[in-house]
């Protein structure tokens, strides 16, 4: 496993540093202080999240609404388009974090997937087959049939248990209906027991304000489960990742999920959200009307934060991954993610979201200097 390439800028807190930035090619400034990972003393591990944007197969599932993504559907979704989609996603997965660790993501949360068929096709693709990815997946009750999953490399991660947390949201007739489940996976990551939540909260369809309560409901379901873990072990290492369809400062994330980007003011049980600072600098994972947002977030419990972190791994840095080939290069949406679809027109892109990832560090010799 390759050590850290020291190519990113650090944000100082206490005597230590957490890196928060949106490009893989930032450099250290002369006034950067204190903690800089030493490649001779630290190993790196990549934890990532990616919205795969409508990753459907071409087979009709009569139990869900997948007609749009069939050969007979409005998009004329055929095997050739599907295979290109698989290849495009594999291209991105191969490169996420690879400048820091050749193995890329050790764990990768994924959303907007139809089933385990598409995941099997992805992990068998020649670009990433050598990483031997496996995955944890549960069928959700979402009416469009889209699920969430956790891909992982067995050399780094061993799942111990899994469960789906059902999220019900109110409908117009006041009867609850289910949206995408939250996938909870407990496992061992390089010797550390970790608790991972993969989320895809309800969209902003109908307007942000009108739909806020649906996302807050999902946040409270996730938070409630987190509280049961922290009640048993206050130092538990928790990671919440997902397309939250809200920004770090929005109510669902900051209040319902109980998170903060300020380490000096953070409450004892709050999750740490490194994306607050990233968004404040104008960076994001998706854009709407030229306003950037970060819906794709990875939050951690404070047991990941040095100097009081628990176990072997600790948080090193937070990144938005947007390689040149993933970006619109011209036209009205220049700079936006190069998406797969523009309405019913196949764009041969990747996703309408950029992925995010954390660099986790492991001490080699027990020395933090």
Helices in the chain by DSSP H: which ranges?
79-95, 116-123, 208-232, 251, 275-280
- Look at residue 345 and tell me whether its pLDDT is greater than 70: yes
- pLDDT tens digits, 8-19: 333 333 333 333
**Does any domain span residue 262?**
yes
Average pLDDT rounded to a whole number, residues 258-278: 91
Average pLDDT rounded to a whole number, residues 186-207: 92
Query: 198: cis peptide before it, omega within 30°?
Result: no
- Going 205 to 207 to 211 to 216, the CA torsion angle's sign is positive
Average pLDDT rounded to a whole number, residues 269-279: 94
298 pLDDT band (50/70/90 cuts)? very high
- pLDDT tens digits, 94-105: 999 999 999 999
- Look at residue 26 and tell me whether its pLDDT is greater than 60: no
pLDDT of residue 346: 95
Average pLDDT rounded to a whole number, residues 242-253: 96
The number of helix segments (H) and strand segments (E) in the chain equals 5, 21
Residues in the chain: 369
- Look at residue 350 and tell me whether its pLDDT is greater than 50: yes
Parent domain of 160: 10-363
- The model's pTM is 0.88
Name the more confident of 50 and 282: 50
Instruction: Specify the 3-state DSSP secondary structure of 46.
Output: strand
**Does any domain span residue 369?**
no
Average pLDDT rounded to a whole number, residues 4-8: 33
- Look at residue 124 and tell me whether its pLDDT is greater than 90: yes
DSSP string, 29-45: -TT--S----TTTEEEE
Q: In this structure, what token pair is assigned to residue 299? A: 């939050």
Percent of the chain with pLDDT over 90: 71
Q: Rounded to whole angstroms, what are the CA distances from 134 to 54, 154, 183, 258? A: 20, 7, 15, 31
- Look at residue 207 and tell me whether its pLDDT is greater than 50: yes
Average pLDDT rounded to a whole number, residues 291-316: 94
Beta strand 134-137 with 168-170 is unpaired
Q: What is the rounded distance in angstroms from the CA atom of residue 71 to the CA atom of residue 201?
A: 29
Lowest mean pLDDT segment, chosen from 148-152, 160-164, 229-233, 308-312: 308-312
Average pLDDT rounded to a whole number, residues 111-123: 97
**Does any domain span residue 4?**
no
**Does any domain span residue 312?**
yes
Q: Rounded to whole angstroms, what are the CA distances from 324 to 224, 237, 261, 317, 331? A: 40, 34, 28, 21, 16
**Can you give the CATH number for the domain in which 138 is found?**
3.60.10.10
Total structural domains within the chain:
1
pLDDT of residue 37: 53
- Look at residue 354 and tell me whether its pLDDT is greater than 80: yes
pLDDT of residue 211: 79
Instruction: Specify the 3-state DSSP secondary structure of 252.
Output: helix
> Can you say how many angstroms the Cα of residue 232 is from the centroid of all Cα atoms in its chain?
26
**Does any domain span residue 158?**
yes
pLDDT of residue 163: 97
Percent of the chain with pLDDT over 70: 85
* The three-state (H, E, C) secondary structure of 158-172, written as one string: EEEEEEEECCEEECC
Nearest-Å Rg of the Cα atoms of the chain is 20
Q: How many CB atoms lie within 10 A of CB 285?
A: 28
203 pLDDT band (50/70/90 cuts)? confident
Please name which of 200, 194, 134, 215 lies closest in space to residue 164, comparing C-alpha atoms.
200
- Contact yes or no for 70/60 (Cβ under 8 A): yes
282 pLDDT band (50/70/90 cuts)? confident
Q: What is the rounded distance in angstroms from the CA atom of residue 269 to the CA atom of residue 266?
A: 8
For the chain, the average pLDDT equals 87
- Look at residue 179 and tell me whether its pLDDT is greater than 70: yes
**Does any domain span residue 1?**
no
pLDDT of residue 2: 41
**Does any domain span residue 220?**
yes
Lowest mean pLDDT segment, chosen from 20-24, 226-230, 278-282, 316-320: 20-24
DSSP string, 279-303: HHTT--SEEETTEEE--EEEEE-GG
Average pLDDT rounded to a whole number, residues 63-75: 92
Name the more confident of 5 and 285: 285
pLDDT of residue 72: 94
**Does any domain span residue 16?**
yes
């Amino acid at each position: 496993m390759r050590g850290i390439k020291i190519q990113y800028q650090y944000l100082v807190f206490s005597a230590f540093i957490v890196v928060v930035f949106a490009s893989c090619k930032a450099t250290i400034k002369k006034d950067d202080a204190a903690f800089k990972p030493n490649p001779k003393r630290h190993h790196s591990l990549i934890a990532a999240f990616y919205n795969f944007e409508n990753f459907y197969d071409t087979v009709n599932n009569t139990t869900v609404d997948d007609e749009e993504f069939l050969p007979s559907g409005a998009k004329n979704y055929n095997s050739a388009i599907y295979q290109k989609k698989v290849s495009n996603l594999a291209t991105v997965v191969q490169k996420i974090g690879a400048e820091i660790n050749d193995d890329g993501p050790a764990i990768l949360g994924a959303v907007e997937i139809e089933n385990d068929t598409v995941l099997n096709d992805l992990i068998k693709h020649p670009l990433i087959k050598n990483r031997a990815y496996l995955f944890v997946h549960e069928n959700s009750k979402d009416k469009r049939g889209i699920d969430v999953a956790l891909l992982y490399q067995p050399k780094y991660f061993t799942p111990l248990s899994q469960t789906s947390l059902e999220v019900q949201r109110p409908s117009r007739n006041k009867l609850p209906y289910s949206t995408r489940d939250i996938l909870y996976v407990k496992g061992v990551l390089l010797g550390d027991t970790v608790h991972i939540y993969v989320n895809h909260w309800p969209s902003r369809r109908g307007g942000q304000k009108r739909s806020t309560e649906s996302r807050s409901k999902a946040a409270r379901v996730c938070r409630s489960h987190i509280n049961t873990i922290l009640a048993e072990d206050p130092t538990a290492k928790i990671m919440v990742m997902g397309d939250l369809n809200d920004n770090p400062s929005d109510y669902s994330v900051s209040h319902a999920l109980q998170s903060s980007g300020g380490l000096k003011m953070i409450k004892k049980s709050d999750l740490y959200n490194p994306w607050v600072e990233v968004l404040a600098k104008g960076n994001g994972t998706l854009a709407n009307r030229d306003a950037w947002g970060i819906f794709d977030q990875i939050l951690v419990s404070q047991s990941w934060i040095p100097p009081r972190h628990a176990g072997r791994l600790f948080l090193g840095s937070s990144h938005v991954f947007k390689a040149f080939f993933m970006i619109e290069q011209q036209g009205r949406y220049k700079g936006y993610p190069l998406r797969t679809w523009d309405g019913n027109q196949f764009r041969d892109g990747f996703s309408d979201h950029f992925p995010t990832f954390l660099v986790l560090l492991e001490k080699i010799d027990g020395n933090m200097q």
